[in-house]
């Protein structure tokens, strides 16, 4: 059965210049995960630039960025996306784990950015 589960991971999260914020833990172990992950992002305010990554854990306490992990997105802004409106969807393929956290880092170094994100897992 192809069940898609959505997780609200960031709700109007303000990420200050050169700072990193982490989402709460997302439990993946009890879901029928087929390995499809899509992150819908909306950048609403700010002129910063967001890099989004993931961390994984099998115990829910100790999180690591896997050696082969790639950034989900490297430069999302309020003008990103097909409509240049800060909205876009990114697919990624993480390694198998029980738990995941997403990280947003403002990489422009000068201005903040506000991000809302929903993770869909199938």
Structural domain including 99 reads 19-110
91 falls within a domain: yes
Q: For 13-47, what is each residue's pLDDT tens digit?
A: 999 999 999 999 999 876 656 788 999 999 999 99
81 falls within a domain: yes
Using left for φ > 0, alpha for ψ between -120 and 50, and beta otherwise, residue 113 falls in beta
Structural domain tally of the chain? 1
Q: For 1-12, what is each residue's pLDDT tens digit?
A: 568 889 999 999
Whether residue 86 has pLDDT greater than 80: yes
Confidence of residue 69 (pLDDT cuts 50, 70, 90): very high
The pLDDT, as a whole number, for residue 4 is: 85
The pLDDT, as a whole number, for residue 31 is: 61
9 falls within a domain: no
Whether residue 52 has pLDDT greater than 80: yes
The bridge status of strand 20-22 relative to strand 99-106 is antiparallel
CB atoms within 10 A of CB 51: 18
Percent of the chain with pLDDT over 90: 86
82 falls within a domain: yes
Length of the chain: 122
């Amino acid at each position: 059965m192809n069940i898609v589960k959505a997780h609200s991971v960031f709700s109007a999260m303000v990420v200050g210049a050169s700072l990193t914020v982490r989402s709460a833990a997302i439990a993946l172990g009890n879901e029928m995960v087929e390995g499809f992950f899509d992150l819908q992002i909306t950048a609403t305010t700010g002129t910063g630039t967001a890099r989004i990554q993931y961390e994984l854990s099998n115990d829910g306490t100790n999180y690591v960025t896997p050696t082969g992990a790639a950034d989900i997105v490297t430069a999302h802004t309020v003008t990103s996306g097909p409509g240049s409106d800060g909205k876009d969807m990114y697919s990624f393929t993480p390694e198998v784990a029980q738990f995941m956290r997403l990280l947003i880092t403002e990489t422009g170094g000068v201005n903040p950015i506000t991000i809302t994100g929903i993770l869909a897992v199938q």
